[in-house]
Amino acid sequence: MRSGPTLGVLFLASTCSSGLANAARTSTISWSVTDVRSDSHPQREESATARQAETVIFALRSAGGGEELRWIGYGGVAGRVLLGPYECHLSPEEAEDTIAHTSRQVILALKNRDMEEFARYVHPQKGVRFSPYTYVEVDEDLRFTSEEIPALLTDKEKRSWGYYDGSGDPIHLTFEEFYAEFVYDHDYAHAPEIAYNAVIGKGNTKNNSSEVYPCAIIVEYHFPGFVPEQEGMDWSSLRLAFQEIGERWYVVGIIHDEWTI
C-alpha cells in the first residue's frame, strides 16, 4: 500500500462479489482494493454514511493501526471499510454546514455548566474523553459515559488527568477543578475565532486528534491572546470532536490546547 497524504476518492460499486463490495480509487492514483467488507451486522452503529453523490472522500494514509471498521452505505450498497489506512474528510465548509448548530448547543451547555444538557450530546457508546493538552493520550485521558456526566460537577473525587506541561507535576483534581482549568477556562462561546476541520492554535505539541478520532468533525474555539505584551503566546483553544451515528453527531472528545513548552 502506498503511504503519504495523497487524496483519493472511494467509489462504492453497485454489486457485491464474494461478500466484498468492490471499490476503486481514482484521482491522482488508480488501483483496485477490496477492503470494503460485507455488512453482516448492520445493527452496529459505527456509521459514516456516504452523503455526497456516489463518493466518500478519504485522505490516503499509511497502513497500520487497529482493525476498526466503519459502516458505509450508499443506495443499495453497504459494507465496512477498514479505517487503518484511511481518514474520512469533510472540508471546513462542509463541516461547518454539518455541525455548526450542534456545536453551538454544546458550547453553550459547557458555558452554562449544564451537564444534563451536555450529556444529551455525548456519544452513547463511546462516551466523551477529556484531554488537558492537544496530544490525546488514548489510554490515560479520562473518559465518561453520558450517564456519568450529569453528576460530575458535584463529585468531590480527585482524579489523575495527566501531567502539567513544563513542571511535569500530576494533574490531580476534582472534575469541577479540571473543568475550570482545562475545559471552560475562557468564554469559548464568545471566542473570536472558530474553525471547522481546520487548526488555528499551534504550539510545540503534536496534534493527534484526527488520528484518535477518525471520521470526526473537530471544531476549534480559539482566543489568539489576552495580554498584548505576551505577543500571542497566551493563546487558548478548546476543541470539540464529533463522530456520527446515523444522522446524528455526538461529542467523543474535548481537547484543551494552549502554548506548551
Mean of pLDDT values over 217-233: 94
252 and 213 Cβ atoms separated by less than 8 Å = yes
Q: What is the pLDDT of residue 80?
A: 55
Biggest distance spanned by C-alpha atoms of the chain? 65
Q: What is the pLDDT of residue 215?
A: 82
pLDDT above 70 covers a percentage of the chain that reads: 66
Distance CA 219, CA 138 (A): 19
* Neighbouring-strand partners of residue 170: 163
Q: What is the pLDDT of residue 70?
A: 54
Distance CA 110, CA 6 (A): 37
Ordered by start, the domain boundaries in the chain are: 7-88, 92-258
Mean of pLDDT values over 178-201: 97
Instruction: Give the model's confidence band at 37: pLDDT under 50 very low, under 70 low, under 90 confident, else very high.
Output: very low
Class of domain 92-258: alpha beta
Average pLDDT, the chain: 76
Residue that wins the pLDDT comparison between 77 and 44: 77
Residue that wins the pLDDT comparison between 166 and 155: 155
pTM score: 0.70
By the 10 Å C-beta count (0-12 exposed, 13-18 middle, 19+ buried), 255 is classed as: buried
Convert the pLDDT of each residue in 42-70 to its tens digit: 333 333 333 322 333 333 333 334 445 55
Q: What is the pLDDT of residue 246?
A: 84
Q: What is the pLDDT of residue 125?
A: 95
Q: Which of 67-81, 97-111, 193-207 has the highest mean pLDDT?
A: 97-111
Distance CA 68, CA 81 (A): 8
Residue that wins the pLDDT comparison between 232 and 162: 162
Q: Which of 1-5, 37-41, 238-242, 245-249 has the highest mean pLDDT?
A: 238-242
Convert the pLDDT of each residue in 230-258 to its tens digit: 898 999 999 999 999 988 999 999 999 99
